[in-house]
């Protein structure tokens, strides 16, 4: 069953030097309990897409087109107070840097209880019980004691567990995780990812995992969306994307992964840099970095074509012999 | 808590020592106590003898040690003009100054917190722009000018409030007189306290605004929005508590500045407090009173700074007062 | 040769025109108006001896018969004195032109002194660190707990009492600049120190040290440029503060003497006549002072918004 349906989403930032479209024509769906990944370089528009779902785009940005439908409700048409009832309740978020996401002057307990009390009419004591339950669910030892502690008393990995616990407090249907492991040590990254995957499985929660690391998403998600310069250029089942990428950019990303390189050899890299949003090129967004560029690529922008399990926006997609 | 207090006390003693040395050197430099005591008509021989008796010919350190010993026992010398112990004179004037500072602090907190928060939350609202404009004006007008204007408008032209003096006071326990508890006292207090607040209030509005704007951009506030909290909870609990930390630190220093500004306001309004007394003492070269004033004010600084540090520690969980 | 010079000039002008600061300046009406006001004040003050109708420092020019003439627009106005006269029969316009000069002079020189002292102490504390650093910062703490105004009152009173009123009048301007200049260094020192500490963590400073550059070269080339924007912002505000402090001291009778009045002493001079109806003696210099300070502070605000430096109080 479709939980989230985004169609032709467009976000615009009016700036002094003229307005900039941060994302264009972004459409995708998330089913109940489905885990999808959005991959791209910084500035590709992946975080903006995620924040747009909760209408939390930082000012002066605003949603300038498209529709967002969540569980039968049109989110893009909700007023602020109804939206507030969905944020942190039915859709939770996990932020990038656990060192920065928890308020330094409030105790863990306060920050967990307020999150529940904002959405449920229950007593403080009951809220505290839920908080302890969720802390146990994210495998934090001596959960009861943690409630009295402050963020600075916990390690980075612990804090991200607390943030995940906060995201789970109200039993949401969807969690949006924005680079949840980027700021953590490599050893802890794997633990956190596994935890996130297991929890989503256990509670049947949908997950949108935003990352710049194709390696990370491929371990956790069932579907992958690749974004480039504010648009989706390839999407499909994780299996398809990872083993048979059709877009030259996606293939470049996969090749650049250290695990796909023989030790001792130079890492592969994609030449050039992503165009900034102020000077989006005509034609294919990727044409000035693509090895296979043809004349048509410079003139006509390719549309996303293919089937639900794998589609690509490229005039000359990579083909594979079966 | 105990370790913290001991450390703080050590610092305080150090600061007070520095202040006392400086003050004492002033006493040493300025004015001849002998002339104040016996006048001009005594011969040089008797003067020298008196000097010896009073210990004025002793080395600086010996004299300073004597001064310090007396000071610790609460003896800061005798005022030339009032012919009374300097500390007694100051303690008589202290309540009036404290009334003024308390009333000014009241105005500052009452207006700066809502104005600063509002200006941070809605920076483009006309009311915020008005607040910021007024704050620039407030910072730019010297206190004594504000005081003169207030007298001219509200005392002379409109006649709403008295221009001079302290009015009726109510005696509290221990002989402490306050203007805060009588209507007449309050009406006398209004103009001086407003003009005293007029310098510090704009600073507070600006600090609260800029700190709050910074806090509103932090990840934890964005996370709070994503948690679906009400905007009032985000502003008053998540943002304001963090805004408070730097405001408390700067506020402590500003309180000290306010004590200095009482000299100006009290002079314009003839408010019978320490500041007015200090200026008179300076004009009369009443050295013991000047020195006593400096020491008492130094003590006030040290005490307020300690209190500010304790409050800071209570708000900021990253400072451990408990010394675990 | 001249062409080259012209080219360099044009290049600099080009760089100025392309800078974010210039863009913000020409798009900010408040900043432009404030800058124009400050510029006009400075110009008038510099040209005071040429444009002032009288010499306000020359007591022989005053006639007591001319005292307390209101400014033009009133019935009793005198066309010789556009802005009226004070109780001594001194032309207010001339006195204010000269007074503005004295006020600005004190503000600028006191700030320069603070700058030199504060930057040196901050650099030393930050660069050499250790005990020297904690000692200097403790001194800054103590210095801050004595408010400038109070220090200035005590020191100037002391000075006045020791040298006598006549000598004081002669050296007042030096004494005031010294007192305000010496008392307000901690803000500069703390900000510069913080900049140095931040810069020391940068790799280019490490690199400079590794290749054996002299500490002073490192400070001069790599660290000082970073302190430029906070120092500019602080200095703007400090000029305004110094002018206010001087005015406050004058009001208490410890600033510039009436014979060589600053705007502050002119205000003080007329204070006793405010309630007897001669409002202009105080009000005109007061308005002049407030407009100047507001303009400087607005300029400082604009600089703070554009440069957005981290400043430590």
Tell me the domains of chain A and their CATH numbers. 2-90+170-312 (3.40.50.300), 100-169 (no CATH)
Closest to C180 in 3D by CA, of C164, C156, C145: C156
**Rounded to a whole number, what is the distance in Å from the CA of A199 to chain B's nearest CA?**
19
Shortest distance between the Cα of B286 and any Cα of chain C, in A, equals: 11
Please judge whether B31 and C154 are an interchain contact, meaning their C-beta atoms are less than 8 angstroms apart.
Answer: no
Tell me how far apart the alpha carbons of residues C310 and B282 are, in angstroms, rounded to a whole number. Answer: 39
* Chain A residue with the nearest C-alpha to that of B217: A58
| Cα three-residue angle B220-B223-B227, rounded to 5 degrees | 135
pLDDT attached to residue C108: 92
Decide: B28 and B79 in contact? Cβ < 8 Å: no
Neighbours of B, requiring at least 3 CB pairs below 8 Å, are A, C
**Is the Cβ of A207 closer than 8 Å to some Cβ of chain B?**
no
B264 pLDDT more than 90:
no
Write down the CATH superfamily of domain C21-306.
MetI-like (1.10.3720.10)
B140: nearest CB among C153, C248, C293? C293
From residue B123, alpha-carbon distances to A200, B30, B216, C253 in Å are: 41, 53, 12, 42
**Backbone phi and psi for residue A25, each to the nearest 5 degrees, phi listed first:** 55, 45
Answer yes or no: do C154 and B282 touch at CB < 8 A. yes
Instruction: Determine the residue of chain B that is closest to A119 in CA distance.
Output: B228
Tokens standing for residue B235? 């502003």
The better pLDDT of the pair B176, B13 is held by: B13
Cβ separation B241–A105 shorter than 8 A: yes
Pairing between strand A305-307 and A310-312?
antiparallel
pLDDT at site B323 = 41
Taking the CA of residue A22 and the nearest CA in chain B, the distance in Å comes to 19
Nearest to C233 by CA among C182, C308, C290: C308
Give the Cβ contact number of residue C33 at 10 Å: 13
For B83, B89, C267, the CA distances from B271, given in Å and listed in that order, are 22, 15, 21
Residue-wise burial string across A158-168, b where 16 or more C-beta atoms lie within 10 A, e elsewhere: bbbbbbbbbbb
* Domain residue ranges of chain C, discontinuous segments joined by +: 21-306
Total length of chain A = 322
Q: Is residue A116 over pLDDT 60? A: yes
Residues B185 and B167: their CA atoms lie apart, in Å, by 5
Contact B293, B278 (CB under 8 A): yes
Cβ–Cβ below 8 Å for C286 and B145: yes
Determine the residue among B123, B227, B229, B237 to mutate to test chain A binding: the one whose Cβ has the most chain A Cβ atoms within 10 Å: B227
| Interatomic CA distance for residues A299 and A292, integer angstroms | 15
Q: Nearest by CB to B30, from C158, C252, C275: name it.
A: C158
Judge whether A271 and A289 are in contact, CB under 8 Å.
yes
Give me the pLDDT at residue B324, please.
35
Nearest-CB residue to C267 (from B145, B260, B285)? B145
**Residue B81 CA neighbour count, 13 Å, CB half:** 16
Contacts of B237 in chain A (CB under 8 A): 106, 114
Q: Which residue of C has its CA nearest to B18?
A: C142
The closest alpha carbon to C294, from A62, B69, B132, belongs to: B132
Q: Which pLDDT score is estimated for C149?
A: 84
CA distance C300 to C31: 9
Interface list for chain B against chain C, based on CB atoms closer than 8 Å: 15, 18-19, 26, 29-31, 136-137, 139-145, 148, 152, 156, 250, 253, 256-257, 259-261, 263-264, 267, 278-279, 282-283, 285, 290, 294, 297-298, 301-302, 305
ipTM over 0.90 threshold: no
Long-range residue pairs from B277-282, CB within 8 A, at least 24 positions apart, any chain = B277/B89, B277/B90, B277/B93, B278/C153, B279/C153, B279/C252, B280/B81, B281/B79, B281/B81, B282/C153, B282/C154, B282/C157
pLDDT at residue B114, as a whole number: 92
In the prediction, which pLDDT does C296 show? 92
Closest CB to C154 among B18, B26, B302: B26
Distances, alpha carbon B114 to alpha carbons B117, B213, C5, C250, in Å = 5, 14, 56, 35
The residue among B24, B139, B152 with the most chain C CBs within 10 A of its CB, best to mutate, is: B139
For residue A118, give the nearest of B230, B238, B318 by CB distance. Answer: B230
**Token pair for A147:** 């409630």
Any B CB within 8 A of A85 CB? yes
User: For residues A218 and A236, what is the distance between their CA atoms, to the nearest angstrom?
Assistant: 12
Contact A38, A52 (CB under 8 A): no
Token output for B46: 């008797």
Please list every residue in chain B whose beta carbon sits closer than 8 Å to the beta carbon of residue C275.
Answer: 152, 156
**Is residue B135 within 8 Å of residue B202, measured between CB atoms?**
yes
Which two tokens mark A268?
């592969």
Pick the CATH number of B88-284 from 1.10.10.1100, 3.20.20.70, 1.10.3720.10, 3.40.640.10: 1.10.3720.10
The mean pLDDT of A197-220, rounded to a whole number, is: 87
Query: What is the average per-residue pLDDT within A305-314?
Result: 85
- pLDDT tens, chain C, 313 aa long: 566 666 666 677 777 777 777 777 777 888 888 889 989 888 988 887 888 777 777 777 766 666 666 777 666 766 666 667 776 777 778 888 888 888 999 999 999 999 999 999 988 888 887 888 888 887 887 777 677 888 888 888 878 777 777 777 778 888 889 988 888 888 888 888 888 888 777 777 778 777 877 777 777 777 788 788 888 888 998 999 999 999 998 888 888 887 788 888 888 877 777 767 777 778 888 888 999 999 999 998 888 888 776 666 5
Answer whether A314's CB lies under 8 Å from A302's CB.
yes
Pick C248's closest partner by Cβ from B19, B256, B264. B264
Nearest to B226 among A54, A97, A152 (CB): A54
pLDDT of residue A36: 92
Residues on chain B touching A52 (C-beta within 8 angstroms): none
Q: Tell me which chain A residue has its CA closest to the CA of residue B229.
A: A118
Task: Kindly report, residue by residue over A153-179, the tens digit of the pLDDT.
Answer: 888 888 888 998 898 888 889 999 988
Kindly report the pTM of this predicted structure.
0.82
Mean pLDDT of B275-293: 84
Q: Which string of b and e fits C42-63 if b means at least 16 CB within 10 Å? A: eebbeebeeebebbbeeeeebe
To test the contact with chain A by mutation, choose from B223, B243, B317 the residue with the greatest count of A C-beta atoms within 10 A, namely B223
* Alpha carbon separation from A171 to A35, A199, A248 (Å, rounded): 16, 11, 39
Q: Strand (E) positions, A60-204?
A: 62-70, 73-74, 91-94, 174-178
DSSP SS3 for C271 = helix
B100 or C272, greater pLDDT: B100
Model confidence at B95, pLDDT cuts 50, 70, 90, reads confident
pLDDT for position B76: 75
- The two structure tokens encoding residue A50: 């995620």
């Amino acid at each position: 069953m479709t939980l989230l349906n985004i169609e032709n989403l467009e976000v615009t930032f009016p700036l002094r030097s003229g307005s900039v479209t941060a994302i264009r024509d972004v459409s995708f769906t998330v089913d109940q309990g489905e885990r999808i990944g959005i991959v791209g370089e910084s500035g590709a528009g992946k975080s903006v897409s995620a924040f747009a779902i909760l209408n939390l785009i930082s000012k002066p940005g605003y949603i300038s087109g498209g529709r967002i439908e969540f569980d039968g409700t049109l989110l893009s048409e909700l007023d602020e107070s109804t939206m507030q009832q969905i944020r942190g309740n039915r859709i939770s978020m996990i932020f990038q840097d656990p060192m920065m996401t928890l308020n330094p002057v409030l105790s863990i307990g306060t920050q967990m209880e307020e999150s529940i009390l904002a959405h449920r009419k229950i007593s403080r004591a009951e809220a505290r019980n839920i908080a302890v339950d969720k802390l146990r669910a994210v495998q934090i030892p001596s959960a009861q004691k943690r409630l009295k502690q402050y963020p600075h008393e916990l390690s980075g990995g612990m804090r991200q567990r607390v943030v995940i616990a906060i995201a789970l407090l109200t039993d949401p249907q969807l969690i949006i995780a924005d680079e949840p492991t980027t700021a953590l040590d490599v050893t802890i990254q794997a633990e956190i990812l596994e935890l996130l995957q297991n929890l989503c499985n256990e509670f049947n929660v949908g997950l949108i995992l935003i990352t710049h690391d194709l390696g990370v998403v491929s371990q956790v998600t069932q579907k992958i969306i690749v974004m480039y310069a504010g648009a989706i250029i390839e999407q499909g089942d994780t299996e398809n994307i990872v083993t048979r990428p059709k877009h030259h950019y996606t293939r470049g990303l996969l090749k650049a992964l250290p695990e796909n390189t023989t030790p001792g050899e130079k890492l592969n890299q994609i030449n050039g840099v992503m165009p900034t949003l102020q000077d989006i090129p005509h034609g294919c967004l990727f044409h000035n970095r693509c090895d296979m560029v043809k004349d048509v690529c410079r003139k006509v922008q390719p549309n996303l074509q293919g089937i639900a399990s794998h589609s690509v926006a490229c005039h000359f997609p990579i083909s594979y012999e079966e | 808590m105990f370790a913290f207090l001991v450390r703080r006390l050590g610092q305080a003693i150090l600061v007070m020592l520095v202040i006392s040395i400086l003050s004492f050197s002033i006493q040493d430099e300025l004015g001849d106590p002998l002339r104040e005591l016996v006048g001009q008509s005594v011969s040089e021989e008797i003067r020298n003898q008196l000097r010896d008796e009073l210990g004025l010919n002793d080395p600086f350190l010996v004299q300073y040690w004597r001064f310090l010993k007396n000071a610790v026992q609460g003896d800061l010398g005798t005022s030339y003009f009032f012919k009374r112990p300097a500390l007694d004179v100051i303690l008589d004037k202290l309540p009036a100054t404290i009334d003024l500072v308390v009333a000014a602090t009241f105005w500052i907190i009452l207006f700066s917190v809502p104005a600063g928060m509002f200006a941070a939350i809605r920076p483009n609202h006309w009311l915020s722009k008005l607040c910021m404009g007024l704050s620039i004006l407030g910072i730019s007008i010297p206190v004594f000018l504000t005081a003169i204007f207030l007298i001219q408008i509200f005392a002379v032209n409109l006649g709403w409030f008295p221009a001079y003096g302290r009015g009726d006071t109510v005696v509290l326990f221990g002989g402490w007189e306050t203007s805060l508890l009588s209507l007449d006292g309050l009406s006398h207090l209004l103009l001086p306290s407003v003009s005293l607040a007029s310098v510090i209030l704009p600073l507070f509005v600006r600090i609260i605004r800029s700190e709050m704007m910074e806090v509103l951009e932090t990840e934890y506030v964005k996370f709070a929005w994503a948690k679906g909290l009400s905007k009032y909870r985000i502003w008053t609990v998540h943002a304001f508590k963090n805004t408070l930390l730097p405001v408390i630190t700067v506020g402590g220093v500003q309180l000290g500045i306010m004590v200095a500004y009482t000299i100006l306001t009290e002079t314009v309004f003839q408010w019978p407090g320490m500041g007015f007394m200090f200026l008179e003492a300076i004009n009369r070269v009443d050295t013991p009173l000047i020195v006593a004033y400096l020491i008492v004010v130094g003590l006030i600084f040290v005490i307020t700074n300690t209190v500010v540090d304790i409050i800071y520690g209570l708000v900021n969980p990253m400072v451990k007062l408990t010394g675990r | 040769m001249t062409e080259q010079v012209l080219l360099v000039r044009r290049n600099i002008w080009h760089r100025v025109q392309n800078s974010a600061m210039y863009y913000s300046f020409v798009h900010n009406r408040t900043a432009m108006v404030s800058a124009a006001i400050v510029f006009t004040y400075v110009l008038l003050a510099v040209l005071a001896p040429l444009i002032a109708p009288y010499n306000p420092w020359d007591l022989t020019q005053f006639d007591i018969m001319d005292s307390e003439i209101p400014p033009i627009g009133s019935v009793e106005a005198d066309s010789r004195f556009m802005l009226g006269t004070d109780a001594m029969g001194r032309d207010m316009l001339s006195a204010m032109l000269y007074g503005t000069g004295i006020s600005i002079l004190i503000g600028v020189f006191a700030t320069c002194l603070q700058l030199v002292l504060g930057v040196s102490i901050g650099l030393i504390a930050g660069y050499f660190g250790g005990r020297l650093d904690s000692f200097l910062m403790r001194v800054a703490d103590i210095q801050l707990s004595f408010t400038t105004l109070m220090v200035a009152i005590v020191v100037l009173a002391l000075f006045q009492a020791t040298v006598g009123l006549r000598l004081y009048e002669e050296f007042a301007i030096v004494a005031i600049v010294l007192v305000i200049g010496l008392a307000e260094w901690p803000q500069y020192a703390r900000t510069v120190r913080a900049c140095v500490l931040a810069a020391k963590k940068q790799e280019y400073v490490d690199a400079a040290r590794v290749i054996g550059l002299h500490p002073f070269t490192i400070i001069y080339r790599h660290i000082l440029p970073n302190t430029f924007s906070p120092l500019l912002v602080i200095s703007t505000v400090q000029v305004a503060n110094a002018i206010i402090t001087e005015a406050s001291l004058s009001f208490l009778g410890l600033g510039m003497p009436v014979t060589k009045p600053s705007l502050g002493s002119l205000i003080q001079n007329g204070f006793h006549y405010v309630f007897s109806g001669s409002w202009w003696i105080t009000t005109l210099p007061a308005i002049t002072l407030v407009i100047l300070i507001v303009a400087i502070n607005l300029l400082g605000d604009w600089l703070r918004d554009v440069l957005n430096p981290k400043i430590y109080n």
